[in-house]
Structure 1
Amino acid sequence: MTAQKPFLYVVVCASAIAGDVGELINAARERRWDVGVIATPQGLGFLDTDAVEARTGYPIRSAWRRPGDPRPLPPPDAIAVAPATFNTINKWAAGISDTLALGILCEAYGLGIPTAVLPYLNAAMAAHPAYSASLERLREMGVLIGSYRPHDPAAEGEADEYRWEEALELLAPAITSRG
């Protein structure tokens, strides 16, 4: 009997670099993960849905399913939130579950699912006191936080410095220890 591959949920937020999520999907698949993508409602518009679905083999989820509808994705072994926006980070830390993506993230804490977040925002947003407080709350919850430095507000962002694979590096010890 063959061992089943671990399953990674990639939560994608509305961001200028969201369309590059294929980099994380490819890196995860190279490490023998199966991947499903959950997009925030606004994040969905930043993705080439056909390309992402072809790459993962699963539909992108962005809305709640109705009771009795089949689950389109298997349960996750881990979750990577990338790119994670100011809005999603603050709502998640506050326990707000007003989208499927946030509902999954809030529930993951109670289920003990290893979760990594790679923030992507500008320095002006990061200067808001809610942001640092939210990161601290997420750390207290055991969420693994990536190292991206917020970019200049006048810039589109520094996508070349965004390390998608860092999510997998952060999750590796947590997954190994669950074994």
Structure 2
Amino acid sequence: MADAGAGRPVVYLFGSGAGVVSGIGGAVRAGLGRGWDVAVGLTPVAREWLAAQVPEVEELTGHPVKSAYRRPGQPDVLPPADAVLFAPATFNSVNALALGLTSSWVAGYAAEAVGRGVPVLLMPCVNTALAAHPQFPRSLAALREAGVQVLFGEGAFVPNEPGAAAPYPWDVALDAVDRALEARRRGEGRAR
């Protein structure tokens, strides 16, 4: 396993069951290249889809890929996060986090991180039909009001038509994390 920690900022990279989650390995490599200690969390669906990639991601990060709550009395296996990036966040994950529905570990951790003042960044991955659902803009507004940096719209993630594919803007999300970490380092970000 990689040498985890060593004074580097700890970034939790969370992904849910959107097809672009298959690119999370590249995002992990990019984060490590930026000097981060990356820990990956996946929804159960995303973990199932990426089962073949999980050992490689764990080797790269030096941390287990987490997708379930720990049992009472079990130690925490990940270092505390300095920032959380939830990308891709599906329609279900966006709404669950906004409504405080924490049936998945990633939604639960992200909800707690907001409450602890850890910077949380979220980049959805939805099509135009789901983005048009009346709950979706309400959820984005609730997340923004809670202090989550939502990377949605021009200059971030722009929804595609149903069935259409386009590259997911991982670099936009990673650059936003860099800015959040720098703001936190300077004392401008949210404190724990």
Tell me the number of residue pairs that the alignment of Structure 1 and Structure 2 aligns. 175
Give the Å deviation of 1:97. Answer: 1.1
4+ runs of 1 displaced by more than 4 Å? none
Q: How does 1:116-131 map to 2 (within 5 A)?
A: 116-131=121-136
Which of the numbers 22, 25, 28 marks the counterpart of 2:25?
22
Aligned to 2:171: 165
Q: Does 1:153 align with 2:162?
A: yes
CA distance in 1, matches of 2:33, 2:102: 32
Code of the aligned partner of 1:20: G
Q: Does 1:176 align with 2:171?
A: no
Code of the aligned partner of 1:150: P
Which of the numbers 39, 42, 45 marks the counterpart of 1:42?
45
Q: How does 1:26-175 map to 2 (within 5 A)?
A: 26-47=29-50, 48-146=53-151, 147-155=156-164, 157-158=165-166, 160=167, 162-175=168-181
Give the Å deviation of 1:154. Answer: 2.3
CA distance in 2, matches of 1:55, 1:172: 20
TM-score of the two chains, using structure 1 as the length reference: 0.92
CA distance in 1, matches of 2:139, 2:22: 25
Q: Percent identity?
A: 39
Matched position secondary structure for 1:150: coil
Matched position secondary structure for 1:65: coil
CA distance in 2, matches of 1:103, 1:164: 23
Aligned to 2:16: 13
CA distance in 2, matches of 1:142, 1:108: 10
Aligned to 2:189: none
Matched position secondary structure for 2:19: coil
Code of the aligned partner of 1:68: G
CA distance in 1, matches of 2:121, 2:38: 15
CA distance in 2, matches of 1:74, 1:43: 22
Unaligned runs of 5+ in 2: 186-192
Matched position secondary structure for 2:122: strand
Code of the aligned partner of 1:173: R
Give the Å deviation of 1:171. Answer: 2.4
Unaligned runs of 5+ in 1: none
Cα-to-partner distance string for 1:26-63 (whole Å, 9 max, x where unaligned): 11111100111111111111212112112211111011
Contact 1:12 1:84 in 2 (8 A): yes
CA shift in 2, pair 1:3/1:56, >3 Å: closer
